[in-house]
Chain A
Amino acid sequence: FQTTMDVAAEDSDQMPSGFHAKAAAKAARLRREAAKLASAAALESPGGIESRPGEWAPTQSKLLRRVAVAARPGHFELSLQYGPYSVAYDTTGRLLALCGRGGHVAAFEWRQKRLMFESQVNEPCHALTWVGAGSTPQLAVAHSNWTYIYDAQGLELHCLKRLHKANKLFWLPRHWLLAACTDTGHLHWQDVSTGQTVASYCGHHGPLRVSALHPDSGCVLTGQPNGQLCIWTPLEKRPVVKILCCPAGVRAVATAPAGHAVYTLGGDSRLRVWDIRCLRPLSVSDSGADAASIRLFDAAPQLAVSQRGLLACPVRQGAALMVLPAGGAKPLLSHPSPGRLSDLAFCPWEDVLAFGHARGLGSVLVPGSGEPNPDGAVHPLSGKRQRREAEVRGLLDKLPPETIAPPAVGGGVNAVDAEGIEEALARKRAAVMALPSDEVRQFQPRRRSGKASGELNRKVGERWQRRRMELRQLLKSKKRVLAEMGDEGADAAGGRKTKKAKKVSQSGELTKPATGTFLDRLIPKAD
C-alpha cells in the first residue's frame, strides 16, 4: 500500500522544498525497508492463482482438487427459503451470520459448521453486522422498523428504536460505534459500550440507500442519485465532503477493509476507484481503454472488497459473481449463484467469500483474498482468553467520536495547528508593531491645586510635552515601516480586520473541518 507520503516522494514538485523532499524520500525508504523486514519475518504468505495465458478462470471444483482437504469447509451452499439473504462475517473471521427478508436470522461458525443460533423473527430483516469484540459476539440486525441486538444464543438483548428503518449497519471497532443509514435519510451513531447515542440526525440528502463505511477513518460514505459521493461524520450534520464521482447516479459504494481506496459503481455501469485521501481517481491499470474505470456490464449493485484488494461483484443481473484482482479488469474467478445475488462479503483473514442470494447463501474459495498475517488477537485462531483480553484493551483504547474525520480534510491528533500558530504570530506582530493608542497620545495630566502647584503643573506639563513628541516620532517611524511592509504588514499590525478569522477550538486538539476551504470547489454547482 502506498501512502500519500510515498506518492509525494515520487512526485517531488509536490514537496515545498528540497529539505521536505529529502525527508519524505528518507521516510519512504525506511517504510519500504520496514515492510521488507516485516514480510521476511511473516509466518504465512498470501494465496494466489497462477494461470497460464489462455487459461480460463478456475471453477470451485477445479480449485478444490488443487488445494488441501482442510480448505473444503470454505466451499458450501445452503438452500434456505426465507428470502434474499444478507451475510456478515465478524472481525475475527470465525463467525458467519445471515439474515433473510423472510425473517430468518442465524449465526454459525462456518469452519466447523457449528450452529450458534437460528431463529425466525417474523419480520423482514434487511441488514446485519456483528458488534462488540470477538469474545462476546453480538449481532445487530436491522428489522423493517427497528434494529435489534442478539447475543450468541439468539436472545434479544436490545431493541434500538432510534435506528428506525435502517438499511445498512456498520460496526466501527476502534470507536465501539454502531453506525446506521436509514431509508428515511437519517444517520445514527450509537456507542455500544456505554449505550450513548453519539449522533442521530437527518442528512437531508434523501433516503440513504447506497452506503459504505471507510474503516480506516470511520466515516460513512453514501452515494447519491445525482452522482455525488458524500462523506459523513458524527459531529457534522452535513456531509463533510462531497465529490462528484459519476455522471449518473451512484449505484454502489464499497471500501477495502484497510487502505484508502473507495470503489463506486455508477449508473453508467462503470466502476471507478477513488483515493479518499486526496479525492482523486486511482488509476485502474490493465485495461488500456479507460484507465479510470472498468465497465461492468449488467452488474447488480453489491460490491465487496477483500483485505488484499480483490473486488467481488455480481454479474449477469445477479446470476453469478465475479472476482476481479486488485487493480485489474480480467476476472480472477467467477461462480454461478442459484438465486439472484443479494449480498457479498469477504471473510477477513481467510481466502473465502460468502454470498447471499434469493434462495439461500453460499461460500466460495477465492485464493489471495485474505490477509495472511494478522496482528493481535483478532484472527480466526485466537483463543478465548486472548479475545477477552483484546476486548478489555479495545475498551480502554476506545477512540472518541471526534477522531472520525475523512483523511482529505486533515487535522488529527498529530496535525500541526497551523491556524493557531499563525494567529499567535499575527498577534505578536501586531503587539510589536502596534501603534501607540490614541488614549496615550491624547492623555492630559490632571492639574493639581494648592501650594506650589504652579511649579508642579509646569514640570508635569513639560514632561508630557516631551513624551508626546516621542510618541509622535514613534508613530511616524512605525507608519513608515508599515508602509514599506505593504499590505501584509498592515494586516499584521491589525490595521485592517482580517476577514478570514477562523475560530480555534477550545480543546485545540482537533479543529472542526472548516467549510469555505478549497474543498468547496468539489461541490457541484447545481446542488
Chain B
Amino acid sequence: MKVKLLLRNPQDYLRETADDIHKLARNPAPELHPMSAETEYVRALNAAKLERVFAKPFLGCFGDQGDQLSRVCMHPRALSLCLSGCVDGRVAFWNIPRRSRVLQLDAHSGCVQGLCWHPEQDLFYSCCDTDRTLKAWRVGDDLVEFSRPVSQRHLDFAPLNLDHHVSKDLFALSGDAVYLYDSRRSDPVGQWKWGSDSVLQARFNPTEWHLLAAVTKDNALLLIDTRQREPLRRIRCEFRQNALCWNPQEPFVLATASDDYNLYSWDARRLASPACVYRGHTNAAMDVDFAPTGRELVSASYDCTVRLWESGRSQSRDVYHTKRMYRVFAARYSLDARFIVTASADFNLRLWKARASEKLGALTPRERAAVNTAEALKQKYAHHPQVRRIVQHRHLPKRLYQAQLEMKAIRGKQRRKEVNRREHRGEDKEPFVPERDRHVRGVDE
C-alpha cells in the first residue's frame, strides 16, 4: 500500500530573511475563486468611490492680479512657465509649481489682446488694440533687460489676437482681417478677409505650414491657405465662435468654443458639419484648448466653470468650479497634460489638476499597479448603473445645477415640439435632422 499524506514544509511558505517580501501562495484554479465576477464588481465600485474621494483638482490660486486677465500663454518648451496678459496692459511671468509671479511689466497702455511665444528663441510677443502696437520682449537672466521690449512696431489696425508660426518666423495678427507678418519685414506679407466683420482669432496649423484657421465676429469659421489670395472656406455657424484650437496630434482636427454654449470639433477635410458637438456648458464657451496628447479638451465658460472633455465624446468628463471663480475667459493645458491654468474675471489665475484624483508625486510600482487596476476595473464595469452613477456624478452649486436643469427642460421642450410637428405635418415636411447638422448655416468656398 502506498500512502502519501499532504505535509507542507513551512520553509516553502516563509520568507528567508527579514529583507525579503512575504511569500504569497497562488492557485489560479477557479474552484478557489468563486464569485470572482462579483468581487471584481465590488472592487470596481470601490475604485469609483475612491476616485471621487480623492478628486481634489484645485491646487491653488496664483495670486490676485489686480485687474481682469485677458490672455494666458504657456511656454512652448518649459513646463513651469507661463505668461498672463491683463486688461490694464500688464504682462506677468509666472512660475507654475510655486504659483508665484517671477516678473511683471507694464507692456501696454490698454488691454493685452495677444500673447505668444517664439517657438525656439526666448522671445515673446504681445499686442494691444488701444495703442495698436506689437511688441517683442526678450527673456533673459538680466531682469533689467526685461523691462523694455526688444522691438516694437505700430500697426494700422487694432489687433485682437496673435499667433506665432510653429517653426518659421511668421506670425498672424487678427484684427479687421487676418494679417501675416514676417519678423524681418515691417509690412504684412499677406492679408485675408471674408466679409466686413473683424477676425477674433487666427491660429496656425501645427503641421500644415501654410494653413491657418480663423474665427470671425460674424459667426464664421475661416480656413486660409497662405499661398492663396482668398480664404479657402468659410463655415457660417449659427452663433459666434469665441476661440479656436488645432489638435496638436491630429492636425486636421480643430475645436472651437461657441456662444451657443457648445464646443465644436471640426474635421478640416469635411467642414459641412462639425465632427462632434460638446454639450454641457450653461453659458457661452469662451476658450478651448487641446491637451498636448490631442485626446482631451478643456473649455472655459462664461458660466464660471471649466469643463474637461474627451475628444469625440459629447459629454464632459469633469467640471471644475469654485465659489470664488467668476467668468472664466481662458483655460490652457500644461505641456505635460497634467495641469490646467485658468484665467477668470475675478482677477485670478488658478491651477488645477487635469485628472482630479491623480496623486501628484512619485508613485511606487505597487501604487501605479493599483491605480492602473482601478482604472481597468472602472472601464470594465463602466456600463453598470451603480458604477456609472458614481463615475459620472459631479456636484454642482445650486445656481449651476438649476441652469443645467433649465437647459435640459429647454432641450426637452424643443425635442417634444419637433416630434409633435413631425407627427402632425409628416416626415417629409419635418425631417429628422441629426444633432451635428443643426449648427451650420452653410459652407462657402
Please list the residues of chain A having a beta carbon within 8 angstroms of any beta carbon in chain B. 1, 3, 31, 34-35, 38, 42-52, 55, 58, 62-63, 66-68, 70-71, 174, 215-218, 258-259, 350-351, 365, 367-368, 370-377, 379-383, 385-386, 396-400, 403, 412-414, 436-437, 440, 443, 467, 470, 507-509
* Neighbouring B residues of A215 by C-beta, 8 Å: 34
Chain A residue at minimal CB-CB distance from B41 = A413
How far apart sit A437 and B34, CA to CA, in the bound complex (Å)?
52
Whether the Cβ atoms of A376 and B24 lie closer than 8 Å is yes
User: Contact at B3–A367, with CB atoms within 8 Å?
Assistant: yes
Q: Please, how many angstroms separate the alpha-carbon atoms of A472 and B425 in the complex? A: 14
Contacts A38-B28, A507-B386 known; A67 to B35 CB distance under 8 Å? no
* CB atoms of B6 and A350 under 8 A apart: yes
Identify the stretch in B8-16, B51-59, B151-159, B246-254 within 8 Å (CB) of chain A at 4 or more residues.
B8-16
Cβ contacts under 8 Å, B6 to chain A:
44, 46-47, 350-351, 367-368, 370, 372
B39 proximal to A (CB < 8 A): yes
A443: chain B residues at CB < 8 Å are: 424
Residue of A nearest to B33 (CB): A375
Q: Which residues of chain B are near A47, meaning CB under 8 Å?
A: 3-6
> Which residue of the partner chain, among B13, B42, B386, contacts A397 with CB atoms under 8 Å?
B42
Cα distance, A368 to B14, chains bound together (Å): 24
Complex Cα–Cα for A366 and B423 (A): 78
Known pairs A215-B34, A367-B4; A377 contacts B385 (CB<8 A)? no
- Given A38-B29, A374-B25, A396-B46: A51 and B1 within 8 A (CB)? yes
Query: Given the interface contacts A47-B5, A49-B1, A509-B386, does A399 sit within 8 Å of B39 by beta carbon?
Result: yes
Cross-chain contact A375 with B28 (CB below 8 angstroms) = yes
Q: Is B363 an interface residue (CB 8 A)?
A: no
Q: Which residues of A contact B385 (CB under 8 A)?
A: 507-509
Could you tell me how many residues of chain B have their Cβ less than 8 Å away from some Cβ of chain A? 41
Lowest 8 A-B CB distances belong to which pairs? Answer: A216-B34, A381-B13, A50-B2, A375-B27, A47-B6, A258-B31, A373-B27, A66-B3
Q: What string of 1s and 0s marks CB contacts (under 8 Å) between B410-438 and chain A?
A: 00000000000001111000000000000
Chain B 87-127 per-residue mask, 1 if CB under 8 angstroms from chain A, else 0: 00000000000000000000000000000000000000000
Q: In whole angstroms, how far apart are the Cα atoms of A163 and B38 in the complex?
A: 28
Nearest B-chain residue to A45, judged by Cβ: B4
Q: Give the docked Cα–Cα distance between A63 and B4 (Å).
A: 9
How far is B342's CA from A84's CA once the two chains are assembled, in angstroms?
76
> What's the nearest-Cβ distance from chain A to residue B274, in Å?
27
Q: Closest Cβ of chain A: how far from B87's Cβ, in Å?
A: 52
Inter-chain contact B424/A375, CB cutoff 8 Å: no
- The smallest beta-carbon distance between A134 and chain B, in angstroms, is 14
Contact B26 A381 (CB under 8 A): no
| Bound: A45/B8 CA distance, A | 10
Of the A-B pairs whose beta carbons lie under 8 Å apart in the complex, a sample of 30, sorted by A's number, is A1-B31, A38-B27, A50-B1, A62-B1, A66-B3, A68-B5, A68-B7, A71-B5, A174-B35, A216-B35, A259-B31, A367-B3, A367-B4, A371-B32, A374-B27, A374-B32, A379-B13, A381-B14, A397-B43, A397-B46, A399-B42, A403-B35, A412-B37, A413-B37, A413-B381, A440-B423, A467-B426, A470-B426, A508-B384, A509-B41
Query: Which residues of chain A are near B2, meaning CB under 8 Å?
Result: 49-50
Which A-chain residue is minimally distant from B32 (CB atoms)?
A375
Question: Contact between A413 and B29 (Cβ–Cβ < 8 Å)?
Answer: no
0 or 1 for each of B383-416: is its CB under 8 Å from A? (1 = yes): 0111000000000000000000000000000000
Interface string of B139-157 (1 = CB under 8 A from A): 0000000000000000000
Return chain B residues, CB-CB under 8 Å to A63.
Answer: 3, 5
B22 beta carbon closer than 8 Å to chain A: yes
A122 to B12, CA, bound (A): 44
* Residues in A whose Cβ lies below 8 Å from that of B28: 34, 38, 375
Q: Are B33 and A44 in contact (CB-based, < 8 A)?
A: no
Considering the chains assembled together, what is the distance between the CA atoms of A380 and B10 in angstroms?
A: 9
A365-B24 Cα distance, complex, nearest whole Å:
27
Residues of A within 8 A of B29 (CB): 1, 35, 38, 373, 375
A373 touches B25 (CB 8 A): yes
Q: List residues of chain A with CB within 8 A of the CB of B24.
A: 376-377, 386
B37 surroundings in chain A (CB, below 8 A): 412-414
